[in-house]
Amino acid sequence: MWENFPAIKDDLAESYAVMEKKVRIRNKEVETTIHDLLHSGGKLLRPAYFILFSRFGSATKKKHKKLIYTAASLEILHMATLIHDDIIDDSPTRRGTPTVQAKYGKDIAVYTGDFLFTVYFDLIADSTDSFSTIKLNAFTMKRILIGELDQMHLRYNTDVTLRQYLRRVTGKTAQLFSLSCFEGAQMGKADLKVITSSHHIGHNIGIAFQILDDILDYTENSEVLKKPVLEDVKQGVYSLPLILAMRGHQKEFAPYLKNGAAMSQEDVTMVLSLIDKYQGVEEAKNLAERYTNKALKGINHLPEQPEKQLLLALTKQLLNRNY
């Protein structure tokens, strides 16, 4: 996806090379797991935002290596949390692809995640220039985790509120986008104004990104069934379209919302038609659009320079998806 962004292609390739080098380990299964993940899921979105924001400052030349390492650290942290989430979900597949634990067992999944945490830690130690950055990273890691715990805690809860959803999504996804943008602006030594707004821009991108990702569970066709699969819903993870549609109508939904395998294809059909009736997907899209617009507005206020256009292009490409 980076062909349209030649200005950052080299930096991303360098970060990717650092990642590949740092994840080498004398254990075939862990190495294969990470290798697969790097080659399939690795869209390097977080490193890309980091690099673009770093260019708003003047410090990019002499700090080149540190910037590359930090960019890599962001993707590694993202990968580590993804792997551990799959253990919790206990799901054999995620969006059609087998999860690490389904392929290699949960032992490997636990240790691969842990190993990536150590790689992350190591990259941070190599790249930061201040202890406050380390504190910020520790804080972000903790917030991500609390987001995951909230999600677990609220499973199968039909009363989950929009507010609870947003808090969970903030932790789970927006924190890391925030950190990516903020660390970029800060390490690049951008103006204070850019540093401050980078944080909000990242937050809004992250929220919109997660809402759109959650919507897929209600709209994307599984190759086998040719129907939305409600994978998350079956796991008890009720996300925005369902939450919005259920408001005031919990009793209508309740009979069809069952635990995992107990939910039949008929239940799925009923839930989808109820979401349709109460326009859950449309309303979720509207909210995603509001966050997208906030993000774009923030980017529009950044100083005029080529990276601003790239940020606009990237964010539009990412968030104006076709459903």
Chain residues binding a copy of itself by CB under 8 A are: 25-27, 30, 84, 87-88, 106-107, 110-111, 113-115, 117-119, 121-122, 124-126, 128, 131, 134-135, 137-139, 141-142, 145-146, 148-150, 152-153
Nearer to a copy of itself, 57 or 113 (CB): 113
Q: Which is nearer to a copy of itself, 101 or 204 (CB)?
A: 101
Closest CB to a copy of itself among residues 82, 216 = 82
Residue 145 C-beta: closest distance to a copy of itself, Å: 5
Placement of tokens 């980076």 in the chain: 2
Asked if 177 and 205 count as a contact pair (C-beta separation under 8 A), the reply is yes
d(CA 48, CA 262): 41
Q: Whole-number minimum distance, CB 253 to a copy of itself, in Å?
A: 24
CA torsion angle 288 292 298 299 (round to 10): 160
Q: How many helices (H) and strands (E) does the chain have?
A: 16, 2
Using CA atoms of 53, 55, 59, 61 in order, give the dihedral in degrees to the nearest 10: 130
The three-state secondary structure class of 266 is: helix
Of how many residues is the chain composed? Answer: 323
Of 121 and 156, which has the nearer Cβ to a copy of itself? 121
In the complex, what is the shortest distance from the CB of residue 106 to a copy of itself, in angstroms, rounded to a whole number? 7
Instruction: Determine the 3-state secondary structure of 164 from DSSP.
Output: helix
Nearest-approach distance from CB 10 to a copy of itself, in angstroms: 27
Give the C-alpha separation, 297 to 293, whole Å: 6
- Least distance (Å) from a copy of itself to the CB of residue 179? 13
Q: Which is nearer to a copy of itself, 42 or 236 (CB)?
A: 236
Task: Write down the least CB distance from residue 271 to a copy of itself, Å.
Answer: 24
Nearer to a copy of itself, 155 or 308 (CB): 155
